[in-house]
Every structure is written in C-alpha cells, then in structure tokens.
Amino acid sequence: MYLYGNTKVPRLDDGFLYHFTTADSLLKIVEHMTLQLSSFTLLNDLNETEVNCERSGGMDVINVQNFIKEHCGLICFTQNYKQQDNPFCQSGCNHPRMWAQYADNNQGACVVINEAAFKKRNKEVLHGKFFKIENVNYSLTLYNKWIQTNGKPEKFIKENWKHLFFNKYCDWEQEHERRLFGIDLPKYLSIKGCIEFICLGRRFSNENLQRLVHLIVSPGYESYKQFIPHDFAQQQNSNGSVLPMPIASKIIDTVKQLNEDATRYWLFLKKEGY
C-alpha cells in the first residue's frame, strides 16, 4: 500500500481505485465484502440523467431517462492523479473535499480497490452483461448535436454510453473519477481479495473502529481473516493535503480490547508473520 514513509510511491498506472464512503456503509462493505451499485436517482449531480443531444421527441428523452433510472447502475471511484505544476503523482486518498463530501465530514473511510483483481473476481457474474469501466471526461459543455435519440432507450444507451455516462461538467474535474457503469447488473459486486488497504477518516469513531475490528476477527462474516493490521491506515492532514498513515498498532490494540475470543485470528496473524 502507499502509506506515508513507505518506499513505494503512487503511480498513475497502478490500477488502484479509491471509493469514499460513510462509516455505516464501510461496515456493511467489510461485513459482506461487496460494493453496492448506486442508482442514478441517488447521485448528487442533477445532470447525470440528462441526454444532452438532438432530440427526436419529448417522450424519447423521458423514456431514456426512465430506463436509466430503472435499469442502470454505477460505482464511483477516484484514482491517483497529477496536479498542475507538480511533478509528483498524488494518491487518490489526497482529496480533502471528497473526505468531507463523501466520507461524512471525515468520519467515514476510503476503500482502496485493485481494479485488475476486482474485474477478475467478478468476471463470471459480469459475463454477458453490458458494462464499462472508464475514466470520466470533463468538459465545458456536454451537448452533442451529432447524437439523436431513436425511440429505443436500451439501444440508444448502448450506442452512446460514453456520451451519457462518462462526460461531466468541468466543475467536477478535481474528482479524477473512474466509474463502473452497467445495465441490469447484480446489485452487489464482490471485493473479496481485491482490497489494497482501507484508510479511515480522522474522525472515525472508536466505537466504529471496535465494530470494524469485530468483523475481521469473528467467524461468520465474509471479512473474517481477510485483513491484517497493516491493511489499515488513517487520514492525516498535513499542509492542506491528506496522507494515509499506518495504524497497525492501533488495530492490534483494538483486537486486544475486544471482549471476545480472537484466538483463531491471532493464529492467523502468526502465520502471516506477526
């Protein structure tokens, strides 16, 4: 993982996907080791279902929008990025505004996914489905006069998916978004064996930390024995930016404080070299 002080540094081509989320959602993600696809009705950009093209009739547009709301879903990520006039690649964790906006004012977390492992893990459930994983393009205008609705919503979406779902207004460009979009995909996709690390927010509560650790040391959960203490970091703000700082010792201390038998988890850690 790319933690402060580690000899490894972020790269644009490392294939890491960063998913910001609330504490409650993180606990559900870890418990089931899945990510849930979002509906377009829940997105905070009101332009997400706009067609922005030549229209052959009012009902055409309405039908396309209804199809998107009923059949389409997505998962949003950010990624490592380059800043203007800065030669060094920045970690996808370094988004103070996204920590505030998507991670419940720094009380949530950022789950870091390996894209190649994620695709491999879900290869069978995605087989035969229409889906795309692409970077979002940012522009001053989203209108395209060369595209026209055709009275067949699903056909129109499959032909124009890039225009419809991977173009956003330039005000969003600092999110450096990469997203998974698809039609009639499963509601949940597995991330078992796909997590590089989880960075907790600075305001992630001790109560939620105990709940999180309970999920990784207790048999019966999908997350049991899926994590070692060095898979966790915590947001550290420095000079206005965000650094993921290792908190393995804090995780170990929390395991010790739990009023439950974690013997098998300790044996697991011993095999992992602890």
Q: What is the DSSP string of 138-186?
A: EES---EEEEE--S-HHHHHHHSHHHHHSEEEGGGGGG--EEEEEES--
Q: Is the pLDDT of residue 166 over 50?
A: yes
Q: Is the pLDDT of residue 27 over 70?
A: yes
With b for 16 or more beta-carbon neighbours within 10 A and e for fewer, the 183-208 pattern comes to bebeebbbbeebbbbbbbbeebeeeb
Structural domain contains residue 109: yes
Structural domain contains residue 118: yes
Burial of 130 (0-12, 13-18, 19+ CB in 10 A): middle
Structural domain contains residue 3: no
pLDDT of residue 261: 87
Compute the mean pLDDT over every residue in the chain, rounded to the nearest whole number.
92
Q: Is the pLDDT of residue 8 over 80?
A: no
Q: Is the pLDDT of residue 132 over 80?
A: yes
pLDDT of residue 5: 46
Q: Are 109 and 208 in contact (CB under 8 A)?
A: no
pLDDT of residue 181: 97
pLDDT of residue 260: 86
- Mean pLDDT throughout 17-37? 98
Domain count, the chain: 1
Alpha carbons 91 and 75: distance in angstroms, whole number: 19
Q: What's the pLDDT band for 40 if we cut at 50, 70, 90?
A: confident
**What DSSP letter does each residue of 35-102 carry, written as one string?**
EEPEEGGG-S-TTTT---EE-S-HHHHHHHHHHHHHHEEEEEEB--EE-TT--SEEPTT--HHHHHHH
Structural domain contains residue 2: no
Q: Which residue has the higher pLDDT, 32 or 9?
A: 32
Q: Is the pLDDT of residue 60 over 50?
A: yes
pTM of the model: 0.93
pLDDT of residue 87: 83
pLDDT of residue 7: 42
Residue 139 phi, psi dihedral angles, 5° rounding: -150, 160
Burial of 250 (0-12, 13-18, 19+ CB in 10 A): middle
pLDDT tens digit string along 108-129? Answer: 999 999 999 999 999 999 999 9
Q: Are 133 and 116 in contact (CB under 8 A)?
A: no
Q: Is the pLDDT of residue 205 over 80?
A: yes
pLDDT of residue 106: 98
Structural domain contains residue 247: yes
Percentage above 70 pLDDT, the chain: 96
Q: Which domain holds residue 227?
A: 16-271
